[in-house]
Amino acid sequence: MARDKIVLLFPDGVGIRNYLYSDVFKGFEKDLILFHNFDDTTINDICRNVNFEKDYTIPVYKESFKEKFLRELICYLRLQHNAKITQNKTILSNWNPLKNTFLKKMFYFLIESISSLISNYNYILKLEDLYQKEIRKHSFYHQVRALLCEINPTHLFCSHQRGIQCAPVFAAAQDLNIETVTVIFSWDNLPKARMALKAKKYFVWSNYMKDEIKLYYPEISKENIVVTGTPQFEFYSDESNIIEKETFYKQYNLDFNKKIICFSGDDAHTSPDDPKYLEDIVTVLVQNGLDENYQILFRRCPVDITGRYDEICTANPTLIKKVSPIWNRKSNAGFASIYPSIDDVKLLVSTVYYSDIVVNVGSTMAFDFAMYDKPCIFINYDQNEKLNPNWSTKKIYEFQHFKSMPSPEAVYWLNNKSDLISILNNEKLHKNTDGMKLWKNIVLGDYKEASSTIKKELN
């Protein structure tokens, strides 16, 4: 007797680690069909952990002018709505379209002008209905619908909610009465108004995130929002993911006799002055003799392939140890074509396990380190000479997702570079604060059973 099938839609590399390298689809009761845009290297990596009955490449999707206009108008209107209901203007900073040609300037000028005439939330819903009708006219929709008819799955699962090509795929599935499910990928996603698709069910990290959906998308029934947790933190409970200490230290030239400060970088847009912050840490350590006791493990953001750290790293080879993420990259391709290798799971887990503390600008790495009860320092000052004069740490920590922090004591705050001395000398630094434990519970919920919970919901 033929088994039921589930289509796993992965429009890009986002979600591979969480959903294909975790236990979610291991030993699954349905046949797994992968719908993707991966290269052969990535497929081979994935198949080391999950077996697929078959895989299909997502056809090329080029949205029409009307589709893009409606999608962008809806996004801008939702951002304005979200900023209003939360009384948080930083949400509007997520509206930063590229206006590098005259036509694009006119396109977005028209969107912004029309948006000033619309304030009723019901009009947003009407525009979304128009968008749903429009995507069903596209040849891509009919192509995908025919493919889904051929596969005949019971479920369609998507790795994240943002991919624009996911909207017509989900529309086709719904029209064929296929159960549609998406995860909300990250803790900062919902206020940004980039929910590209309409699903039957939404899998979220926690009750906090469920409340966020109800706030930003009140039209979604609470019965269709399922709190599953996120599998991305389950890797830390598996001791087999920890590389042997001697192997790890020798491979990355780490000193066995020194403590490790992990500096986790972000991408150049999110945190443009990260190289200067890294330089500040080096300066403080060296000038105060703390380099005798500490070394810096530098993990760059996987999608940051710039050379912006080269100068500071080259100048300090004995202090800064580069432990670069193991990701596969297609040449001459953007973010959507950068995929994590399965080997990066062990590298990240080991980085957190052997480091004593992490320093960054508001990164989710704070939660990774909390898995091993390790403290986090959030950088909270601006450089005197900023690459982007409009960027500020003050603005970063006003972003809506930081409103989930129950107390500033969840992390240590580096309000100027010299504060690093007193923080490192704090006798309580060896473990998490009570504030971080509470924050972790709010944002992550019951993350320990995420894979099994998701598996039960889909089987």
CA–CA distance, 168 with 363 (Å, rounded to integer): 32
Residue 232 within a domain = no
Structure tokens at 158: 């998507």
Domain for residue 250, yes or no?
yes
For residue 35, the cross-strand partners are 9, 56
| DSSP-assigned letter for residue 184 | -
> Do 248 and 208 share a domain, yes or no?
no
Q: Are residues 74 and 105 in the same domain?
A: yes
Last residue of a domain, one of 227, 251, 282: 227
Query: Which class for 88: exposed (0-12), middle (13-18), buried (19 or more C-beta within 10 A)?
Result: middle
304 and 401 in a single domain? The answer is yes
Residue with tokens 């129950």: 406
Amino acid, res. 137 = K
The closest alpha carbon to 275, from 319, 322, 311, 326, belongs to 311
Whether residues 11 and 56 fall in one domain? yes
Strand-pairing partners, residue 339, are 328
Q: Is residue 209 part of a domain?
A: yes
167 within domain boundaries = yes
The last residue of a domain, from among 113, 133, 153: 133
Total tally of structural domains belonging to the chain? 3
Which residue range(s) make up the domain with 82?
65-133
In a domain, 422, yes or no: yes
Strands 327-329 and 338-340 come out as: antiparallel
**Domain limit, last residue, from 227, 256, 283:** 227
pLDDT of the residue at 1: 58
162 and 308 share a domain?
Answer: no
Residues 274 and 341 grouped into a single domain = yes
The set of residues, in sequence order, having a beta carbon less than 8 Å from that of 442 and lying 6+ positions away, is 206, 208, 404, 406
Q: What is the pLDDT along the chain (459 residues), one digit of tens a residue?
A: 578 999 999 998 889 999 999 999 998 989 999 999 888 888 988 999 999 999 999 999 999 999 999 999 999 999 999 999 999 999 999 999 989 899 999 999 999 999 999 999 999 999 999 999 999 999 999 999 999 999 999 999 999 988 899 999 999 999 999 999 999 999 999 999 999 999 999 999 999 999 999 999 999 999 999 999 999 999 999 999 999 999 999 999 999 999 999 999 999 999 999 999 999 999 999 999 999 999 999 999 988 888 999 999 999 999 999 999 999 876 555 555 688 899 999 999 999 999 999 999 999 999 999 999 999 999 999 999 999 999 999 999 999 999 999 999 999 999 999 999 999 998 777 677 789 999 999 999 999 999 999 999 998
Residue located via tokens 């998507």: 158
Distances from the Cα of 421 to the Cα of 258, 393, 394, 429, 431, angstroms: 16, 20, 22, 12, 17
Query: Do 250 and 187 share a structural domain?
Result: no
Residue 161 lies in a domain: yes
CA 204, 205, 208, 212 torsion-angle sign: negative
pLDDT at 432: 74
| Residue 263 and residue 180 share a domain | no
Residue 151 lies in a domain: yes
**Domain identity same for 317 and 333:** yes
Q: Per the domain annotation, does 452 fall within a domain?
A: no
Same domain membership, residue 183 and residue 324: no
Residues in CB range of 104: below 8 A, 6 or more apart: 97, 98
Read off the CATH number of the domain in which 331 is found.
Answer: 3.40.50.2000
pLDDT of residue 331: 53
Burial class (CB in 10 A: 0-12, 13-18, 19+), 287: exposed
Q: Are residue 81 and residue 191 in the same domain, yes or no?
A: no
Q: What is the pLDDT of residue 2?
A: 72
Q: What is the pLDDT of residue 330?
A: 64
What is the residue whose two structure tokens read 């009708």?
133
**Do 246 and 324 fall within a single domain?**
yes
